[in-house]
Chains A and B, each alone.
Chain A
């Protein structure tokens, strides 16, 4: 059922895809560890079999859905996207998934649905940082405006590199929004709610002046403490210049119209 991986040297002008081993061993998964290497092993404790997703809020068909049932209704495709972290590094990942719009269409949104809220799994038994209530307010929550959520670039991924999503990379199901900083692309989703109002999101709540609701990749709006002008591409060698970050992570042609009337400095 998994699509054949595309030729790794041709990823639509993004350059070569990042070697899978690098992507699997460099994850910000604060539920497990604040260290990108440690979460690789720690995340293996998360039970991901028989994954269920609750869909609720402003929809005609709320309910608890088996991930298998959701996936069996969708055509899984490979989406090769550049993934740009707010920490100024990036990688090119071939995700396997389907457009979030398809799922939203299927549960029939009501006219009042203006935002989509995503909630990550809360499992203090396997997640050490949830157990000690460290740093962020758990569970992790992210959200999109409805027009961002149904944009064809926005996908739910259940795999990468032609295989099932590794646990540290967000199994069983994660969001991928390629024109936003990585923290918007929430992992291990257990709940999706369509809402009338914008919910509070985890990083925005933790440091509102540093992490905005939109978090669109933008080289001309620096983080209050560091520049976003350039990024280190994972897999690039020593003495290789950093890549210059692009507005909307290079997806401006497809998504700039979503923000045409907005002051991007204000809505960071």
Chain B
């Protein structure tokens, strides 16, 4: 059993790193077109958003398939979203702007699309920091509340994507559809639970529904 899980862990880890290897290969073979810096930037941002969507997809898939094993990988996928987002940010700061902080400061202040990227990254960063089991224990109930911010991160990331385009919205709309779908699924589950809870209420007694997920 453990062996099987370990194999899956290794396979999934390698799978998650494939986009990075692909990118490094394209850099090495000069296969990134006329504006390679921008191409790297888009590629890393894309993968960060994809891993964010995959992370959010685990719960719905688990609910639908009743296959519990997948939750184990949710943390790892989330950390890969953080990993690619970090490369994306580092690329912006050091590959594109070569660490020129004055220019970077003006760029961030004047570019509203970057603000959404900053919001998304700050959230993903705080989720990554509080990802270890010890942090989960220490935060108790607040941990779940904090980690629900992942929806805001996904939303901000999608806005960050389409807010910098001149108007070709196909790709960001694709991600938006996925995020809305994933969020919609949870809202449906929440509404269903709420109704079930209501049915189970003893008549005439007030009860708080706050704790329902």
Residue numbers of A with Cβ under 8 A of B are 21-23, 25-26, 34, 36-37, 86-87, 89, 135-136, 206-207, 222, 224-230, 232, 234-235, 238-242, 244
Residues 85-139 of B contacting A (Cβ, < 8 Å) = 94-98, 100, 103, 106-107, 109-114
Residues A222 and B111 in contact, CB atoms below 8 Å apart:
yes
Q: Which of A36, A89, A224, A229 is within 8 Å of B103, CB to CB?
A: A229
Residues 33-58 of B contacting A (Cβ, < 8 Å) = 33-38
Residues B34 and A232 in contact, CB atoms below 8 Å apart:
no
A242-B111 contact, Cβ under 8 Å, with A26-B35, A206-B167, A232-B35: no
Residues B110 and A26 in contact, CB atoms below 8 Å apart:
no
Chain B nearest CB, measured from A148 CB (Å): 23
Contacts of B111 in A (CB 8 A): 222, 225-227
Interface centre among B34, B38, B114 (most CB of A within 10 A): B34
Contacts of A206 in B (CB 8 A): 167
B164 within 8 A of A: yes
Residues B168 and A241 in contact, CB atoms below 8 Å apart:
no
Residue numbers of B with Cβ under 8 A of A are 33-38, 94-98, 100, 103, 106-107, 109-114, 163-164, 166-168, 170
Task: Give the CA-CA distance A26 to B35 in the complex, in Å.
Answer: 8
Chain B nearest CB, measured from A235 CB (Å): 8
Residues A227 and B38 in contact, CB atoms below 8 Å apart:
no
Q: Which of B94, B113, B170 is within 8 Å of A239, CB to CB?
A: B94
A222-B33 contact, Cβ under 8 Å, with A34-B168, A89-B38, A240-B98: no
Chain A nearest CB, measured from B114 CB (Å): 8
Interface centre among B35, B98, B111, B113 (most CB of A within 10 A): B35
Task: Give the CA-CA distance A240 to B106 in the complex, in Å.
Answer: 18
Main secondary structure of the interface of A (DSSP, over half): loop
Chain B's closest residue to A228 (CB) is: B110
Q: Which of B35, B94, B164 is within 8 Å of A225, CB to CB?
A: B164
Q: Could you count the A-B residue pairs with CB atoms below 8 Å apart for me: how many are there?
A: 76
Residues A229 and B107 in contact, CB atoms below 8 Å apart:
yes
Contacts of B95 in A (CB 8 A): 238-239
Residues B113 and A226 in contact, CB atoms below 8 Å apart:
yes
Q: Which of B34, B109, B113, B167 is within 8 Å of A36, CB to CB?
A: B34
Residues B35 and A89 in contact, CB atoms below 8 Å apart:
yes
Task: Give the CA-CA distance A240 to B202 in the complex, in Å.
Answer: 69
Sampled A-B contacts (25; CB under 8 Å):
A21-B34, A22-B34, A37-B34, A87-B166, A89-B35, A136-B167, A206-B167, A222-B111, A225-B111, A225-B163, A226-B112, A226-B113, A226-B114, A226-B164, A227-B110, A229-B103, A229-B106, A230-B106, A232-B35, A232-B96, A234-B34, A238-B36, A239-B98, A242-B103, A244-B103
Chain A nearest CB, measured from B184 CB (Å): 28
Task: Give the CA-CA distance A86 to B164 in the complex, in Å.
Answer: 11
Contacts of A228 in B (CB 8 A): 110
Residues B98 and A37 in contact, CB atoms below 8 Å apart:
no
Chain B's closest residue to A86 (CB) is: B166
Task: Give the CA-CA distance A229 to B33 in the complex, in Å.
Answer: 24
Chain B nearest CB, measured from A127 CB (Å): 15
Interface centre among B95, B100, B163, B166 (most CB of A within 10 A): B166
Q: Which of B38, B94, B112 is within 8 Å of A224, CB to CB?
A: B112
Contacts of B96 in A (CB 8 A): 232, 242
